[in-house]
Amino acid sequence: MSAAVPDVKEIWNGRIVEVTLGAGPDQGGTRRTTVTVGGQNTLPFLHFEGQMPHKPVVAVEVRDQAPDDWSELLVQAWGDVLSDPAAWAARAEELGAEVIALSLDSAHPERGDTGAKEARSTVRRVLEATGIPLIVYGPGQPDKDNEVLVAAAEEAAGERIALGNCEEKNYRTIVAAALANDQLVIAKTPIDVNLAKQLNVLIGDMRLSRDHIIMDPTTGALGYGLEYTYSVMERVRLAALSGDAALQQPMIVTAGYEAWRAKETRTGEGVPAEWGDWRTRSLLWEANTAVTLLETGADIVVLRHPDVIPLVKQAIEGLMQDSPVA
Q: Any contact of residue 59 with other proteins (CB under 8 A)?
A: no
Mapping DSSP onto H, E and C, the string for the chain reads CCCCCCCCCCCCCCCCCCEEECCCHHHCCCCCCCEEECCCCCCCCCCCCCCCCCCCEEEEEEECCCCCCCCHHHHHHHHHHHHCHHHHHHHHHHCCCCEEEEECHHHCCCCCCCCHHHHHHHHHHHHHHCCCCEEEECCCCHHHHHHHHHHHHHHCCCCCCEEEEECCCCHHHHHHHHHHHCCEEEEECCCCHHHHHHHHHHHHHCCCCHHHEEEECCCCECCEEHHHHHHHHHHHHHHHHCCCHHHCCCEEECHHHHHCCCHHHHCCCCCCHHHCCHHHHHHHHHHHHHHHHHHHCEEEEEECCCCHHHHHHHHHHHHHCCCCCC
8 touches other proteins (CB under 8 A)? yes
Tell me whether residue 34 or residue 106 sits nearer to other proteins (CB atom): 106
Q: Based on CB atoms, which residue is closest to other proteins, 209 or 242? A: 242
Residue 11 engages other proteins in binding (rule: CB under 8 A): no
Cβ distance 60 to 92 under 8 Å? yes
Closest CB to other proteins among residues 28, 276 = 276
Query: Binding pattern to other proteins, positions 131-160, x when CB under 8 A?
Result: ---------x--------------------
| 152/161 Cα distance (integer angstroms) | 9
In this complex, which beta carbon is closest to other proteins, that of residue 12 or of residue 228? 228
Evaluate the omega torsion of the peptide bond into residue 181 and state whether it is cis, within 30 degrees of 0.
Answer: no
Name, in order, each residue with C-beta under 8 angstroms of 317's C-beta and a sequence gap of 6 or more. Answer: 55
Task: Tell whether residue 303 is a contact of other proteins (CB under 8 A).
Answer: no
Q: Give min distance, CB of 45 to other proteins, in A.
A: 5
Q: Which of 95, 176, 238, 245 binds other proteins (CB under 8 A)?
A: 238
Nearer to other proteins (CB atom), residue 84 or residue 234: 234
Query: Which one of 102, 284, 298, 313 is in contact with other proteins (CB under 8 A)?
Result: 284
302 touching other proteins, by CB under 8 A: no
Q: Is 234 in the site for other proteins (CB under 8 A)?
A: yes
Inter-residue contact 236 to 253 (CB < 8 Å): no
Nearer to other proteins, 169 or 207 (CB): 169
Q: Which is nearer to other proteins, 84 or 168 (CB)?
A: 168
Binding of other proteins by 55 (CB under 8 A): no
Comparing CB distances to other proteins, the nearer of 51 and 231 is: 231
220 makes contact with other proteins (CB under 8 A): yes
Binding of residue 311 to other proteins (CB under 8 A): yes
In whole angstroms, the minimum distance from the beta carbon of 259 to other proteins comes to 10
Among 187, 283, 302, 309, binds other proteins (CB under 8 A): 283
Least distance (Å) from other proteins to the CB of residue 278? 8
Residues that bind other proteins (CB under 8 A): 1-6, 8, 45-48, 69, 110, 140, 190, 220, 222-228, 230-231, 234-235, 238, 261-264, 266, 272-278, 280-281, 283-285, 287-288, 291-292, 295, 311, 314-315, 318-323, 325-326
